[in-house]
Amino acid sequence: KEFLENHAGEVLNMLLEEYTVEDAMTLMREEGREEGREEGREEGREEDVRNLLKYGMSPEQAAEALKISLETVTGIQGKMS
């Protein structure tokens, strides 16, 4: 701890030199991919809810079947109306 306190500037410069533009771009691509995957999961979940409700399931049953909150189901149901 004492070393880091006494040499914080040096340590920071060493870390910054190791973090290249390529590293930053790689990290940004990975974050973008994860965001895309999450959006896809959400869209799929919404489609599942719409289908279950369309075929007569109650919001409570749909929430239980999909293991999601009733609030999520009713929010999607509200978009359908």
How far is C-alpha 47 from the chain's CA centre?
18
pLDDT of residue 8: 84
**What are the tokens at 60?**
């409570």
Amino acid (1-letter code) at residue 78: G
pLDDT at 19 over 80: no
The upper half-sphere exposure of residue 76, i.e. CA atoms within 13 Å in the direction of its Cβ, equals 23
pLDDT digits (tens, 9 = 90+) for 28-58: 899 999 999 999 999 999 999 999 999 999 9
Q: What's the pTM value of the predicted model, to 2 decimals?
A: 0.63
Does pLDDT of 18 surpass 70?
no
CA distance 38 to 32: 10
pLDDT greater than 90 at residue 76? yes
Of 69, 71, 73, whose CA–CA distance to 46 is shortest?
Answer: 73
pLDDT, mean over the chain: 89
Residue recorded with tokens 């973090």: 19
